[in-house]
A = this chain, B = another copy of it.
Amino acid sequence: MTQVAILNIGDELLIGQVVNTNAAEMAKMLNSEGFDVTETLVVGDKEEMIVSALRFLMQRADVVLLTGGLGPTKDDITKKILAREFGAKLIEDEKVLNHVEQYFKQKNLPFTSTNREQALVPDNCRVIFNSVGTAPGMCFEKEGKVVISMPGVPFEMRLMMKEVIAILKQHFKSEAIEHRTLLLSGIGESFLSDMLEEFEAALPKNISLAYLPKGGTIRLRLTCKGEDKETVVSQIKSQTERLRSLVEKYFMGFDCDNLAQTLAERLLQNNKTICTAESCTGGNIAHLITLVAGSSIYYKGSVVSYANSVKADVLGVSKEDLETFGAVSEQVVKQMAEGARRLLNTDYAIATSGIAGPTGGSSQKPVGTVWIAVAGKDFCIAQKHFFATSRDNFIERASNQALLMCLENVK
C-alpha cells in the first residue's frame, strides 16, 4: 500500500497556540481514497529542522505532503528550502502572478514586491493552482518519491487536497479501505478486550480491530484493507455483524465519530424532534448537534440559560426552586428540560446545569458537578455526574454525557 507521510511546518503548532487539525483532515481525506498515512511530523519554522525532517520522511514513505511556511512573511521559508533540496531555480509563474495581482486588486489592496514574490515557483515542480489564496502548491518528484507542498491555511489546503489526491492516483495504486465503528456504552476496555479475545484472534490478516475509549464510552473500530473494493465491503460487513452480535448488550450505534451523528440517525428513523436547554455546557450541545448536516430536520433550537433570570423568565423555572435548591439541582434541571420542550414544542429536550469552574464551586457542589435531564412526552429523568477536570474538558464531557443519556432514552 502506498505510504504517505505528512509534515506540518509552523512554530504556532509547537507552542500549543494552534491545534494541528490539518494533519487529521488530510489523513481522513487520504484514507478514504485508499492511501495509508503512516506518520505525521510537526517542526517549527527553522531551516535545519525542516530539511532533516523532510529527508527523514522521504526515506520512510512514498509520498511526503507538507503544509505551512508558504506565506509572504519572513518566517515562511519552505519554498526556498524545497528549491534547494530539489536543485531548482525560482522563476516567476505567469498564471500565479496574474491571479495574485487580481486577488489584491479585488480586495482594493496595494500590490507590493512582497506579494509579487508569491508568484515565484521552483522551475522543476508542477504548480498546483491556489484559487482561494496567494501561495501556490508545488509538486516535486525524485527517485520515485512524490513531495507536495501546500499552504497551511486549512481552507486553502482543503481545496488543494483534491488535486493532490488526483496526482497521487496517477502515480500510485490506491488500495480499498473500509472502516466501521461501533459505539459501546456501559463496559470497560479491559473487560471488553477479554470478551473479544477469540474474535480478534480469528480475524483475517487484512482486518484489524481498535479500541477507542472516550468519556465513558468505547468505540470499536474495524478496518479492512484489500485490492478490491467489493471484497473489502463484503468482508467488513460480515465481520461487523459478528462483532455486533457479541457486544449487542452494550451497542449504542454505528459509525459515529460522534454521538450527535448517532442521535441524528435515531431521531430521523423515529421521526422525532429535539431541543436543548443549556446552562454549564453553554451552547456546546447545540453546537455538536448542528454540526451534523441536515440537523434542521429534527433540531429546533436551544435556550442557553447562562443567567438564572433566563432560566426563570424564558424557560419558566420556578424562582422559588432556584432559590431553595440552587441552579445546579435535580429540580431546576428537570424544569429546564420541561420548559424547553414546552417552549420549543419538541418531542424531547436535553438540559444541563453544573459548575464548569475554575471557580463557583462549594463543598456541597464542587467544581465539576453537573445535573443532566432528558424530558419526553411522558417522562422526565435527571442524573448527577461529576467531571473534575479543566473547564473545556468539563464542557466536552458533560455534553457527551448528555447526548449519551438522550440516546438511551429516545425511542
Do A41 and B41 touch across chains, with their CB atoms under 8 A apart?
Answer: yes
User: Given A20-B20, A110-B191, A389 and B158 touching (CB < 8 A)?
Assistant: yes
A101 to B295, CA, bound (A): 44
Q: Which of A141-149, A234-242, A281-289, A371-379 contacts B (4 or more CB under 8 A)?
A: A281-289
Specify the main secondary structure of chain A where it touches its partner.
Answer: mixed
Q: What sequence of 0s and 1s flags, for each residue 212-227 of chain A, a beta carbon within 8 Å of any chain B beta carbon?
A: 1100000001010000
A325 to B110, CA, bound (A): 37
A71 to B29, CA, bound (A): 28
User: Given A15-B179, A38-B43, A305 and B301 touching (CB < 8 A)?
Assistant: yes
Do A304 and B307 touch across chains, with their CB atoms under 8 A apart?
Answer: no
* Cβ-based interface call for A291 (8 A): yes
* Cβ-based interface call for A348 (8 A): no
Q: Which of A79-87, A88-96, A112-120, A167-175 contacts B (4 or more CB under 8 A)?
A: A112-120
Do A16 and B20 touch across chains, with their CB atoms under 8 A apart?
Answer: no
Q: Which of A6-14, A121-129, A246-254, A400-408 contacts B (4 or more CB under 8 A)?
A: A6-14
Do B295 and A306 touch across chains, with their CB atoms under 8 A apart?
Answer: yes
Interface size on A, residues (CB 8 A): 113
Besides A20-B23, A301-B305, A309-B344, 19 more A-B contacts (Cβ < 8 Å) are A16-B29, A17-B212, A19-B20, A38-B44, A39-B53, A40-B42, A114-B194, A154-B393, A158-B393, A282-B290, A283-B283, A283-B286, A283-B287, A283-B290, A286-B304, A293-B356, A299-B307, A301-B310, A302-B306
A interface vs B, CB < 8 Å?
11-21, 23-29, 31, 37-45, 49, 52-53, 56, 60, 71-75, 104, 107, 109-110, 112-115, 118, 134, 153-155, 158, 179, 181, 188-194, 200, 208-213, 221, 223, 257, 276, 278, 282-287, 289-291, 293-296, 299-307, 309-310, 313-314, 343-345, 356-360, 389-393, 395
